[in-house]
A and B are shown apart, each in its own frame.
Chain A
Amino acid sequence: MTAAVSAAAPPDYILQAQKVTKRFGGLVAVRDVDLEIVRGSIVSLIGPNGAGKTTFFNVIVGILDPTSGHVRIGGQSLIGRPVRAWLEPVVWFTPAVVIALLTALLFAVTGTPAVAALGGAIALFGLAAMFLAAIIRPRRYVALLTQAGIFRSAKPNEMVHAGIGRTFQNIRLFANMTALENVLVGMHTKLHANALDALLSTPRARAEEVRAAARAEELLALVGLAGSGDVVARNMPYGDQRRLEVARALGSDPTLLLLDEPTAGMNPRETADMMTLINRLRTDLGLSVLLIEHDMRVVMGISDRIFVLDHGELIAVGTPAEIRTNPKVIEAYLGKPPE
């Protein structure tokens, strides 16, 4: 498959991690890992415990900043080592401070309180304007920062904007909210009602809420939770909670879904259901999936490509058949055979 793709046009990568390294003090948790995900494929990341899978995962979802290397999503480098990130607060506060100082100077010279009041007001409004710009047009704001030579590795919520949805290894639902509300929070980036819309209850906001609720019900039905919208997440059975996490991740209409051990703690039947679900996500929604998984039946069953990590380094890449017979992988999992 890979040969065919590389022989034709350059492959359409949805995510490209290049030489990602994450160091914690002296410990190198992930070293120079390259990982590509072709659009529409299911890719697995496996490795023994402590191999650095979760660290790598946390880097590509924006929770940890990498020590070096970067991650490109759809051709755009979103994650990398921050460059001059400390300049951002300086950019924020310098104009206000300069205005305030000038005002103080003017005030000292002229002695009119009106000057001080006006200057103070301008400085305050300047800060407020920066703040509003950062809220209302976040991506434009980040683009401006990048033009100014300030690179800030993307935060988890910005990765969601870039089209990445994720689930957690230990279920992290909003336990006291209903299933429907959980999915609605997942749809946060797809909704546009702001605080003012909410306060005035504008027709736009109300129509959006109705549409959002319908869409959330659809997503619940898609993962097999039709009709449980009103059940509090905490009261759901374990398998349903896992499905609800997937539904919540789908809320943002991601193009790439990252699943961290989606079948952990599931019985064989629930595992089989989950595999069917993951396959359907690809065929029906055209999603690409990156999977961290320990259950080899799942990994071998649905992956197009498998990446194997050990001690923070990539030791093998290939199709399930190649990985199964790869001596390095066998060694990593079972240890060296006695000489």
Chain B
Amino acid sequence: MSAPPAVRNGSSGGLVALIRAHRSISVLVGWALVGALLPFIVLVPPFSTFQAQSLWIGGFANSGVFILLALGLNIVVGLAGLLDLGYAAFFAIGSYTYAFGASSFTGLHVPFWPMLLVGAFAAATFGILLGAPTLRLRGDYLAIVTLGFGEIVPAVFLNADTYTRGTNGIGGVAQPALPFLQFNFSDPVPFYVTMVAILAVVMVFVYRLQGSRLGRAWMAVREDELAAASSGVNTVTTKLLAFALGASTAGLAGVFNASKLGIVSPDQFGFAVSFTVLAMVVLGGMGNAWGVAIGAFTLYEIQSVVLKGLNQFFQQVQVPFLDTIDFVQYQFLLYGLALVAMMLLRPEGLFPSRRRQRELHQVSEDVADVPPPTAALGD
């Protein structure tokens, strides 16, 4: 009738099977490897010409913030299929939560580690508050409401002068403290290590959610909401949980970012952030955690290192015309071009989940009428 399961497992090979069987451990090992190797890779010539090692590591820690944001947005957009254009709002809420909880501005000095959870919880609460009235909306309409929310939150922080110091932002935000790691602004390594650890844990959580009852419910809601409801899935709470868990990840990112920069101000959370993170998710491959992480990392490094490097390079070599262009200013134009090119050439992203790939190549496959066993193997 159709391909027996053994055929597919056989085709995936020993290592892949091992990774599948111990997903959490392999994710942790993967992050440990990446975290240990990256600081040394940048010592090798093509990378070492761009900037010094400590700058690279600081950049990696910053890119980690975006990877975290992308992983969270991936839950909302990639798994549950809810288009959220105001994701930076939750990032802002996490940041401000930490700034309120651990700065001289309020006089509170809660340590960083519990504040990570508090920030995540606060962002999740707002995720639910935003989600509850808007979840009847679908597609474009939901996107518009979230877009509005994403604009309102920074505007509130900007205008509530008395409580947030408006444009000046809240400075003097405390740094994390650990007995064996010394955190300060001049040394990015502790932040880098912390970020890798947070990312590893979050990624394990994402994979566990994906394969759980809740993860299946998210995918079911994305595929066919009525059928999901008729299978007993409470679509309202399922979508709210997607919002809440996605937002809580942004809250984590916000807390980390606030402590790393030492200052929180409304201009850090503009639409550009929401848009960039969405571009990262789409380019990386919706629904696939590693793909999304790589997409976020690549985009961040391109915007923060490669474009600057291009500027320097063309100025040094003195190429006519090109040396007058400031590539950093054109980064959004480049995103736009990249997204358009992506939609035309590879709509499922660079590293798609198998499921997304199936969805987006539905038409061509249906026309080609691929028999089931071949399709299963090809995946």
Chain A residues with CB under 8 Å of chain B are 61, 63, 124, 127-128, 131, 134-135, 138, 155-157, 160-161, 166, 168, 172-177, 181, 184-186, 188-189, 191, 193-195, 197-199, 201, 205, 209, 225, 227-232, 234-236, 240, 248-249, 251-252
| Most-contacted residue by chain A among B128, B220, B224, B379 (CB, 10 A) | B220
Question: Which residue from chain A places its CB closest to the CB of B358 in the assembled complex?
Answer: A176
Please tell me if the beta carbons of A160 and B209 are within 8 angstroms of each other in the complex.
no
Determine how close the nearest CB of chain A comes to the CB of B203; give it in whole angstroms: 12
A230 touches B3 (CB 8 A): yes
The distance in angstroms between the C-alpha atoms of A104 and B2, with both chains bound, is 66
Query: Given A193-B213, A198-B215, A229-B5: A174 and B208 within 8 A (CB)?
Result: no
Since A156-B230, A195-B214, A240-B2 are in contact, a sample of 5 more A-B pairs with Cβ atoms closer than 8 Å, ordered by chain A residue number, is A168-B230, A177-B355, A186-B232, A194-B214, A249-B231
- How far is it, in angstroms, between the C-alpha of A230 and the C-alpha of B376 when the chains are bound? 8
B34 at the interface (CB under 8 A from A): no
Q: In the complex where A185-B228, A188-B231 touch, is A234 in contact with B358 (Cβ < 8 A)?
A: yes
- In the complex, what residues of A have CB within 8 A of residue B3's CB? 230-231
Residue B226, interface by CB 8 Å: yes
Query: Shortest Cβ distance from A214 into chain B, in angstroms?
Result: 14
Say whether B205 contacts A155, CB under 8 Å.
Answer: no
Check if A174 sits within 8 Å of B220, measured CB to CB: yes
A231–B376 CB distance below 8 A: yes
Please, which residue of chain B has its CB at the minimum distance from the CB of A173? B227
CA distance A190 to B233 in the complex (A): 11
Say yes or no: A195-B220 contact (C-beta < 8 A), given A156-B230, A232-B358: no
Q: Given A185-B216, A205-B212, A231-B3, decide whether A172 and B234 contact each other with a Cβ distance below 8 A.
A: no
- In the complex, B4 has a CB within 8 A of chain A: yes
Once bound together, how far apart are the Cα atoms of A63 and B227, in whole Å? 11
B24 at the interface (CB under 8 A from A): yes
CA distance A128 to B125 in the complex (A): 8
Q: Which among A135, A175, A209, A230 has the highest number of chain B CB atoms within 10 Å?
A: A230
Shortest beta-carbon distance from B317 to chain A in Å: 49
User: Most chain-A CB neighbours within 10 Å: which of B8, B232, B362?
Assistant: B232
**In the assembled complex, which residues on chain B have CB atoms less than 8 Å from the CB atom of A252?**
231-232
A-contact bits for B115-128, CB 8 A (1 contact / 0 none): 00000000001001
**CA–CA, A131 and B372, complex, Å:** 43
B5 touches A185 (CB 8 A): no
A228–B212 touching, CB < 8 Å: no
B224 and A172: CB pair below 8 A? yes
- Asked if B235 CB lies within 8 Å of chain A CBs, one says yes
Question: How far apart sit A175 and B2, CA to CA, in the bound complex (Å)?
Answer: 16
B237 located at the interface, meaning its Cβ lies under 8 Å from any Cβ of chain A in the complex? yes
| Docked CA distance A168–B226 (Å) | 10
Report Cα–Cα, A189/B216, bound state, in Å.
12
The main secondary structure of chain B at its interface with chain A is helix
Residue from B211, B215, B234 whose CB has the most chain A CB atoms within 10 Å:
B234
Most chain B CB within a 10 A radius of its CB, from A61, A197, A234 = A234
Give residues in B with beta carbon < 8 Å to A: 1-5, 8, 24, 125, 128-129, 132, 205, 208-209, 211-217, 219-220, 223-224, 226-235, 237, 240-241, 245, 355, 358-359, 362, 370-372, 375-376, 379
| CB–CB A197/B230 < 8 A | no
Evaluate contact between B376 and A235: CB separation under 8 angstroms.
Answer: yes
Among A191, A205, A232, contact of B375 (Cβ-Cβ < 8 Å): A232
Please name the 8 residue pairs, one residue from A and one from B, whose CB atoms are nearest each other, closest first: A198-B212, A160-B232, A189-B232, A235-B372, A172-B227, A174-B223, A156-B229, A230-B5
Alpha-carbon gap, A176 to B359, bound state (A): 6
Chain A residue, CB-CB nearest to B372: A235
Once the chains bind, are B231 and A185 in contact (CB under 8 Å)? yes
Decide: B230 and A61 in contact? CB cutoff 8 A. yes
Q: Is A198's CB under 8 angstroms from B5's CB?
A: no
In the complex, the answer to whether B217 meets A188 with C-beta atoms within 8 Å is yes
Specify which chain A residues have a CB less than 8 angstroms from the CB of B362 in the assembled complex. 175-176, 234
A187 to B141, CA, bound (A): 31
- Known A-B contacts A195-B241, A240-B1, A252-B231; A184 and B216 likewise in contact (beta carbons under 8 Å): yes
Contact B234 A138 (CB under 8 A): yes
Residues of A close to B235: CB separation below 8 A: 157
User: Contact at A232–B220, with CB atoms within 8 Å?
Assistant: no
Q: Cα distance A1–B245 when bound, in Å?
A: 55
For residue A185, give the distance in angstroms from its CB to the closest CB of chain B.
4
Given B2, B219, B237, which contacts A174 in the complex, CB threshold below 8 Å?
A: B219
B233 pairs with A198, CB closer than 8 A: no
Q: How far is the CA of A168 from the CA of B229 in the complex (A)?
A: 12
Known: A195-B245, A234-B362. A227 touches B5 (CB 8 A): yes
Which chain B residue lies CB-closest to A160? B232
Residue of A nearest to B4 (CB): A227
Task: Write the nearest CB–CB distance from A292 to chain B, whole angstroms.
Answer: 15
Please, which residue of chain A has its CB at the minimum distance from the CB of B360? A176
24 contacts between A and B (CB under 8 A): A135-B237, A138-B234, A156-B229, A157-B234, A157-B235, A168-B227, A174-B227, A176-B359, A176-B362, A177-B216, A177-B220, A185-B219, A185-B228, A188-B213, A188-B231, A193-B212, A193-B214, A195-B214, A227-B5, A228-B1, A228-B2, A231-B3, A235-B371, A249-B231
B232 x A161 contact (CB < 8 A) = yes
Contact A197 B223 (CB under 8 A): no
Q: Residues of B contacting A197 with CB < 8 Å?
A: 212
A176 to chain B, nearest CB (A): 5
Q: Which residues of B contact A231 (CB under 8 A)?
A: 2-3, 372, 376
- Residues of B contacting A63 with CB < 8 Å? 226
Determine the distance from Cα of A235 to Cα of B378 in the docked complex, in whole angstroms.
Answer: 13
